[in-house]
Amino acid sequence: MWIGTFFALAAGLMWGLVFVSPLLLPEYPAALQSFGRYLAFGLIALPLAWLDRARLREFTRADWREALKLALVGNLLYYLCLAAAIQRAGGPLPTMIIGTLPVVIAVVSNRRNAWRDGRLPWARMLPSLGLIAAGIALVNRAELDQMRADPQADPVRYALGALLAFGAVACWTWYPIRNADWLRAHPDRSPCTWATAQGVATLPLALVGYAGFWLWSGVGGGAFELPFGPRPLQFVGLMFVIGLFASWLGTLCWNEASQRLPTTIAGQLIVFETLSALAYAFILRGTPPPPVTLAGIALLVMGVMWALRVRPERVAV
């Protein structure tokens, strides 16, 4: 349990970096950032795949189809929605909408995977879920208050950003459950190899997407400088940093956690990503979080600690 929690914490610290890129490169379209990040991920995965080619040969066509689905929904589509949401609503609001993932995944997976992981009693889960939900609500309240106080704020743009963030939540509710299903069904397979396989599967999708965006921009007569935009060194460097740490290494750590923890518990530990993203957002702002936000963060941490004390009960197959 504690080793799995450590890997989930490491994944959250690295995944929090993906919330930084849209703020550091605000002039870059969300689609270009999504395709660029996963193009870098795929290129990083190629030499790793060569070193791990013996294990990758053991994968069946069904395994590669699953890796392709996970790459499309959990990588490209998720980050496209997330980057667009952050560019429209800022960092903290989409971060906290994504922060509902622990509650959503716990509710969805508790009944779905009961035959495999056991069922976590709702009565014992409610305090944890309630603390996490209250923490999310407090931070959202602080961000909405700040938005109302800003005369330059555009409510329509914020609403669109929130809607896109909910799309990202839908993608990442599906992804960890399906990913955990595969890992728990293949305990003999290496989580590292599975992370590399997802990177290899992502590469052709990202290449097609990047080329399509380039073609669409050329036909539409856009003024954006392609292939790497107005700040090529910053863009390429940031894409490879996020591709290495957030995509490959973060996926590896999450796979290790998913093989060790019930999906309901692992889902709640995605809160580490929310906490990391909030910390990075406030560092970029250069201001400390207000007391209401700190209270919300404290409730999130308390909810996670409570969740780790709950043990699943076996159910009849």
With a CB cutoff of 8 Å and minimum separation 6, the contacts of 34 are 76, 79, 80, 83, 209
Give me the sign of the Cα torsion angle 286, 22, 227, 238. positive
Is 230 a domain residue? yes
Is 185 a domain residue? yes
How many angstroms separate the CA atoms of 94 and 83, rounded?
Answer: 9
Is 264 a domain residue? yes
How many domains does the structure of the chain reveal? Answer: 1
pTM above 0.95, yes or no: no
Asked if residue 11 lies in contact with residue 250, where contact means CB atoms within 8 angstroms, the answer is: yes
Per-residue model confidence (pLDDT) at position 316: 65
Is 160 a domain residue? yes
**Token reading at 300:** 């999130």
Is 314 a domain residue? no
Is 183 a domain residue? yes
Residue 313's DSSP bridge partners are 119
Phi-psi region of 118 (alpha: psi -120 to 50; beta: other; left: phi over 0): left
Is 270 a domain residue? yes
Determine the structural domain holding residue 300 and report its residue range: 2-307
Per-residue model confidence (pLDDT) at position 138: 85
Is 159 a domain residue? yes
Residue 119's DSSP bridge partners are 313
pLDDT by position in tens, the chain (length 317)? 889 999 999 999 998 888 888 888 888 988 898 899 999 999 999 999 999 999 999 999 999 999 999 999 998 999 899 889 988 887 777 877 887 787 788 778 776 766 666 677 778 878 888 888 888 788 778 777 777 777 776 778 888 988 999 999 999 899 988 998 898 889 888 888 998 999 999 999 999 999 988 888 777 666 677 888 889 999 999 999 998 998 889 988 998 998 888 877 787 788 788 888 888 888 888 888 888 888 988 887 788 778 767 777 776 65
